[in-house]
Amino acid sequence: KSAFQIGIIATSLLAFIFFSSTKIALPFAQSIPDDVRYLGIWVNSTLATAMLCGGVYAIHRESTGQNEISRALRTAVRNNQLELHFQPQVDNGRQIIGAEALLRWKHPQRGYIPPADFIPIAEECGLMPLIGGWVLKEACRTLALWKEDPVLAELTLAVNVSAKQFNVDGFEQSVLDTVKLFRIDPAKLKLELTESVIISGVEPVVAKMNALRTSGIEFALDDFGTGYSSLSYLRQLPVSQLKIDRSFVQESLESPGGASLIKSIVRMGLDLDLTVLAEGIESATQHLFLLDCGCHEFQGYYFGRPVPDAEFKSQITKAAQGSTRHPTLSQTAVR
């Protein structure tokens, strides 16, 4: 983007130099009196200089703004301002089968900052390996703690991996190293990718995914349906779960078109032997409709919001006390 900005400034400067120093004149141009011309030269140079300064200032501001956030993010990692929150995922019998880890930045002045506000900047500043590495380590540490607790031991933990993070050389090895370090069962770790992971060709992505899958780690395709070329990639990527984006769930009850669309998506996922999870379930009506479509896993505020680990644990423990076998989320347990 900044190369484009610099390009525009450079072109404008060259055009200015060219037009102010050649004698090119259009055939119908009339010569103007000298005193007007002198004034024109002043106005012209002043405007051009002011515009140049403005452009440089805008670029400078943008880069210092990003630098500030990037510096603040580095500090955040060092000073433990990052947190993982956990949102339950349930099966069609409302049993909690796992959780998704969602990143939060607890800013000392601004409170919790949602990931959408800083992950894109972190990606642009090249901070994602650092932050993503922290998330992965924290997730594996959590799984290691869960392993010791009978009510949490069977849960899977889904971790979001950004496209840039996944495509960094050696990503797969760093995941395998972290899993080994914390001695967790790799089958409990699920990595959530979006279709944007295919930046340059699908083969290298598939190869990386397969390298991780052989150790037992599973993959989910997040926000399904919001990217491009979903269908062709869906067939090629070795994912075991399809996460239907919240926007489809919302539309499902708003129009007959929305309802049939989500039915076809669920059917397609099931036909491809994938587990189909609906994201962003907020009401009983949505839940019932998606159950009816054949969807068998759910996540959303209706079952529980993302909460810090201690709260998540106490919710699960409370839910487990009400059920004999596995923790089941009744609405009263989470609200």
Binding footprint of Mg ion on the chain (CB under 5 A)? 160, 192, 222-223, 279
Pick the piece of the chain touching ligand C2E (CB under 6 A) from 46-54, 67-75, 179-187, 298-306.
298-306
Q: Taking a C-beta distance cutoff of 8 angstroms, is the pair 333, 315 a contact?
A: yes
Region of 225 (left: φ > 0; alpha: ψ -120 to 50; beta: rest) is: left
102 vs 140, beta carbon nearer ligand C2E: 102
Task: Single out the residue of 88, 225, 269, 306 in contact with ligand C2E (rule: CB under 6 A).
Answer: 306
Count of residues in contact with ligand C2E, rule CB under 6 A: 23
115 binds ligand C2E (CB under 6 A): yes
| Stretch (H or E) spanning 150 | none
Minimum distance from residue 192 beta carbon to Mg ion (Å): 4
285 vs 321, beta carbon nearer ligand C2E: 285
Q: How many CB atoms lie within 10 A of CB 227?
A: 16
The angle that helices 171-181 and 203-213 make with each other, rounded to 10 degrees, is 10
133 binds ligand C2E (CB under 6 A): no
Minimum distance from residue 145 beta carbon to Mg ion (Å): 21
Which of ligand C2E, Mg ion, none is residue 300 near (CB under 5 to 8 Å by kind)? ligand C2E
- Between CA 121 and CA 69 the distance in angstroms is 8
Residues 173-202 within binding reach of ligand C2E (CB under 6 A) = 192
Task: Single out the residue of 301, 311, 318, 328 in contact with ligand C2E (rule: CB under 6 A).
Answer: 301
- Between CA 73 and CA 7 the distance in angstroms is 30
278 binds ligand C2E (CB under 6 A): no
172 vs 222, beta carbon nearer ligand C2E: 222
The angle that helices 115-124 and 128-147 make with each other, rounded to 10 degrees, is 130
88 binds ligand C2E (CB under 6 A): no
Which of Mg ion, ligand C2E, none is residue 155 near (CB under 5 to 8 Å by kind)? none
Residues 308-312: contacts with CB within 8 Å, 24+ apart?
Answer: 308/83, 308/85, 308/86, 309/84, 309/85, 309/86, 309/142, 312/85, 312/86, 312/88, 312/99
Counting every residue written for the chain, the total comes to: 335
135 binds ligand C2E (CB under 6 A): yes
Q: In the 8-state DSSP scheme, what is residue 199?
A: S
225 binds ligand C2E (CB under 6 A): no
Residues found near ligand C2E in the complex (CB under 6 A):
87, 102-103, 114-116, 119, 132, 135, 160-162, 192, 222-223, 246, 279-282, 300-301, 306
